[in-house]
Amino acid sequence: MDLNTVEDGVIWAIVVIAVIGLVLAIVLKKIIGKIIALVLAAALIFFAWQQRDKVIDAANDVKGGACAAAPSFFGMTVTLPDDWCK
C-alpha cells in the first residue's frame, strides 16, 4: 500500500463511517422513540385498567345496597345506575 492509497482511502473511509453513523443515529432515534411510545402506551393501559377494576369493584360492593360514596375514575366521579342503589 502506498501513500496515495492511504490518503485517498482514508478520506473515503471517513466519509463512509460518517454516513453509516448518521444513518445509525437516525434509525436508533426512531427505534428509541418507538420504544418510549410503547412504554408510555403500556403505562396508560395499565393505569386505565387498574382504575376500571377499581370502579367495577366499588360498584359491585354497593350493588343492591346504599350508595354512600360513588367511585371515581381518574378523579372523576362515576354515577351508578339508579337500580344499583336502593
| Cα separation, 55 vs 67, whole angstroms | 13
Q: Give the pLDDT of the chain (86 residues) as one tens digit per residue.
A: 555 666 677 778 888 889 999 998 999 988 998 999 999 999 999 988 888 888 777 777 776 565 666 676 677 777 766 666 65
Give the integer Cα–Cα distance in Å for 85 and 83: 6
Range of the domain at 63: 3-84
Residue 80 neighbours by CB under 8 Å, 6+ apart: 59, 62, 67, 70, 71
Q: How many domains does the chain have?
A: 1
Q: 3-state SS of the chain?
A: CCHHHHHHHHHHHHHHHHHHHHHHHHHHHHHHHHHHHHHHHHHHHHHHHHHHHHHHHHHHHHCCCCCCCCCEECCEECCCCHHHCC
- The predicted model scores a pTM of 0.57
